[in-house]
Amino acid sequence: MKIIKLDSSVYNKISAGEVVERPASVIKELVENAIDAGATRVEISVVNAGLDEIAVRDNGCGIDKEDLKTAFLPHATSKIRLAEDLSEIRTLGFRGEALPSIASVSMVEIKSKTADADVGHCLKLRGGEVEEEGVISMNTGTEITVSNLFFNTPARLKFLKTPSGELSEIKSTVLKLIFANPTISISLFDKKDKIYSSDGQGLGAAIKSIFNEEIWNNLLPVNYEKNGVYVTGYVSRSTYFKMNRTYQISIVNGRVCENQSISSAITTVYAQYLMKRNYPVTVLSIALSPSKIDVNVHPTKAEVRFSDGNQVFSAVYHAIKNAVEGDIEERRIQFETISDEAERPIEEGAFPFSAPISTVAEAEISSDNAVEGTSSFVFPTKTALENSETFREESDIERSIKENYRKMREKQREVQQELAETQELYRVIGQVFGTYLLLEQKERFIIVDQHAAVERLRYDKLIAAYRAGNVAVQPLLIPLTIEVNPNEYAIVESKIPAMKQIGIEIVPFGTDSFKISSIPQILSEIDINVLIKHVLSDKAEKEDTVIEERLAYAACRSSIKGNTYLTMDEIDELMKAYFKEGLPVQCPHGRPVYHIYTKRDLETLFKRIV
């Protein structure tokens, strides 16, 4: 079969098939061009979900008259000059495919003016061919209108969604562009109806302008750096989730993209907080040297590749982990000890002196009353004692009264401390269904899942022991052998030091296998195949994940089960143990430990407050 060179009209359509999948793709490419042009304001409007018309206007630097036609030639770009530039990409576009691809499957009108030009210039293209050009009066910037998308490739139209579905894709794309460029004002209009509008005042303001108040109130700020990888943005609390991953947005050097290292880090952090098929909300911006990223992986630049995925994983993992754990610690229910005079040390001369008493009998009566818990004890002043011949010779009685006073204050202190640990801090109401504990604390009604709470406390203690290096190691009577291929051999070999730190002793055994001679005691019942799977993983921190999963299982198995009825004393003892540590928010598997209802909540429920 004879080899021929394809006509430009053919290969442009092939290229368009890679870059321009739907109206949202057109908007993404045009907005990214506007951002690369230095725009601080971008306005997008669509008609019929972009199938009839898409218009993008910006206040960027504009395009010179002589460059207008060149911009629509394949692989024409202002972003790079040499192949070496591909290793230091600092712009969103660089391939020179967007404009010619869009023009080849639509009708395009472009108007542009540079700051030093007196007037703007315009072009009209149909199917990639220039039909008209002229002069126009306009402000500095560029306006591109794309109409009749896919008019000359009708087969492509069959694969598009309904107008409402395509509009949803557009909204999703613009939302990500707003989050990726929070210092740029970006607006989206459907005909004349405003859908999104950001003011360019930062990521927090952008999120609040798009997400509802409930989401915003459940987000935590993130700001972290490790090994030159900077992670900023917002992530949801451990108790807040969505039913899909569409609320997880990752931005790398200003580019919305997907990457397995980032996704894996997010999943790993929230695994112990969220149940299966529950997903956190994350808007993360990752910044690192362009030389460590390959953005030339996919025609739409939707994916990136890192030279060291483990570094990125570790930075994202710790950034989220710090934010989530810090929030959990703040939200633990802590019961404050009541501050009282009875808890302060009694200083010399700190007695509540008042008017002198005249007889020993009156002093003894006052002392007896004080022991019963009253505070009306009256002790004679030093001057009064010196002026009285009777008391001047009765120092033993004076010491006896002081001793009685000291004992009385100690008894008061003990009573107050006991109250501080029980009735004044919380009141145990009881238990329902053998599973839930009911407490009253100030003006709050608390329902506690006894199993989840005990499970979390035990898990935290096990984790603390593990991280302190106190996990018991179990030598294997018969070492286990792992057979590996050459690639896996290098992975396992590189992990030997890290595995040893957590109690897994691995030694080479020939050229294609390893022997495991010891494992942490907590892993004694784990399926060895699962262990091997994690050992062979090339993702950072996975060694810890193996242990933590097993510790969660151990804590669960040893906790109080549901449908276990406790006495009031047992409940009280359990609560005392809890509140020394602070009531945890969730169990290791993501189930909530407690729910709180305020007095106002109950009054609203019963229509006392309308």
Give residue-wise pLDDT tens across range 580-605: 666 667 777 777 888 888 888 888 88
Three-class HEC string of 365-397: HHHHHHHCCCCCCCCCCHHHHHCCHHHHCCHHH
pLDDT at 235 over 60: yes
CA distance 293 to 259: 11
203 lies in some domain: no
pLDDT at 336 over 50: no
Quick one: pLDDT at residue 527? 59
Quick one: pLDDT at residue 93? 47
29-43, 51-65, 344-358, 450-464: range with lowest mean pLDDT: 344-358
pLDDT class of 515 with cuts at 50, 70, 90: confident
pTM of the model: 0.61
Residues 141 and 222 placed together within one structural domain of the fold: no
Quick one: pLDDT at residue 268? 87
* pLDDT (tens digit per residue) in 339-375: 333 333 434 333 333 333 333 333 443 444 443 433 3
Contact 263, 249 (CB under 8 A): no
Distances from the Cα of 47 to the Cαs of 28, 98, 106, 186, in angstroms? 16, 21, 14, 18
Q: Which of 197, 222, 243 is the last residue of a domain?
A: 197
338 lies in some domain: no
* pLDDT (tens digit per residue) in 528-576: 555 565 555 545 445 556 566 666 666 666 667 777 888 887 887 777 7
Report, as an integer, the average pLDDT of 314-320.
93
pLDDT at 13 over 60: no
Between 33 and 587, whose confidence is greater?
33
Residues 89 and 43 placed together within one structural domain of the fold: yes
User: DSSP class of residue 175?
Assistant: H
Residues 410 and 439 placed together within one structural domain of the fold: no
CATH code for the domain in which residue 56 is found: 3.30.565.10
**Overall domain count for the chain:** 4
Residues 584 and 447 placed together within one structural domain of the fold: yes
Q: Which of 151, 173, 197 is the last residue of a domain?
A: 197
Which residues constitute the domain of residue 57?
8-197
Residues 173 and 304 placed together within one structural domain of the fold: no
What is the token pair recorded at 563? 């449908």
Quick one: pLDDT at residue 568? 82
CATH code for the domain in which residue 554 is found: 3.30.1540.20
pLDDT at 52 over 70: yes
CA distance 17 to 11: 10
Quick one: pLDDT at residue 203? 94
Residues 575 and 456 placed together within one structural domain of the fold: yes
* pLDDT (tens digit per residue) in 455-496: 877 777 777 777 777 767 888 888 888 777 776 777 777 778
Quick one: pLDDT at residue 426? 73
What are the DSSP calls for 302-315, one per residue? -B-EES-HHHHHHH
pLDDT class of 46 with cuts at 50, 70, 90: very high
* pLDDT (tens digit per residue) in 502-513: 677 888 887 778
Quick one: pLDDT at residue 425? 67
Residue 384 CB-half CA count within 13 A: 12
Quick one: pLDDT at residue 337? 39
Residues 235 and 352 placed together within one structural domain of the fold: no
Report, as an integer, the average pLDDT of 171-192.
92
Q: Is 165 helix (H, G, I), strand (E, B) or coil?
A: helix
Report, as an integer, the average pLDDT of 273-283.
85
Residues 369 and 467 placed together within one structural domain of the fold: no
Quick one: pLDDT at residue 74? 65
Q: Which of 421, 441, 462 is the last residue of a domain?
A: 421
Residues 178 and 268 placed together within one structural domain of the fold: no
Residues 409 and 489 placed together within one structural domain of the fold: no
202 lies in some domain: no
pLDDT class of 14 with cuts at 50, 70, 90: very low
